């Protein structure tokens, strides 16, 4: 039996001596301790647990009248692009899920969204398509 496993068994045996443990708890604890001991002996760093990242501003206030604040870095934009989010290793969908936005929420300043909506209504592209089909 490996040295790591023996050490892990001794630790779990001592732990079981001071508190009641189920068989499942003991086996998972042995495996967990053995792998950590092996990692430590091999000189590997234990992977850091991801810390809960604090947003740059309150997510509810990130989409403003004339700008959008990136909650990852705090920079302001008129449109939070896929390209910028990629610099943080996120897709727009992942970003929205991470910060609690609806899937349909556009990452664009409110005034710019209104302008685009107005422009599209003026262009009435859906009517042009109907004419071409006729």
67 with 119, same domain: the answer is: yes
Name the pLDDT band for 45 (thresholds 50, 70, 90): low
What pLDDT shows up at residue 107? 93
65 with 102, same domain: the answer is: yes
What pLDDT shows up at residue 116? 93
Within 10 angstroms of residue 45's Cβ, the number of other Cβ atoms is: 7
- Long-range contacts of the stretch 65-68 (C-beta < 8 A, 24+): 65/109, 65/110, 65/111, 66/109, 66/110, 66/111, 67/109, 68/107, 68/108, 68/109
Give tens-digit pLDDT for 72-94.
888 899 999 999 999 988 999 99
1: pLDDT strictly greater than 60: no
Q: Which domain does 67 fall in, by range?
A: 59-123
Residue 134 included in any domain = no
Residue 133 included in any domain = no
The DSSP bridge partners found for residue 63 are 68
Residue given tokens 């499942």 in the structure block = 24
């Amino acid at each position: 039996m490996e040295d790591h496993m023996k050490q892990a068994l001794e630790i779990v045996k001592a732990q079981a001596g001071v508190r009641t443990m189920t068989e499942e708890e003991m086996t998972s604890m042995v495996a967990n301790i053995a792998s950590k001991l092996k990692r430590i002996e091999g000189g590997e760093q234990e992977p850091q647990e991801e810390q809960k990242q604090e947003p740059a501003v309150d997510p509810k206030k990130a989409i403003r009248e004339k700008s959008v604040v990136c909650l990852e870095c705090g920079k302001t934009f008129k449109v939070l692009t896929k390209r910028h989010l990629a610099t943080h290793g996120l897709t727009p969908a992942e970003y929205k899920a991470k910060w609690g936005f609806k899937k349909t929420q556009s990452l664009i300043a409110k005034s710019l969204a209104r302008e685009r909506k107005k422009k599209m209504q003026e262009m009435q592209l859906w009517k042009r398509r109907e004419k071409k089909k006729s």
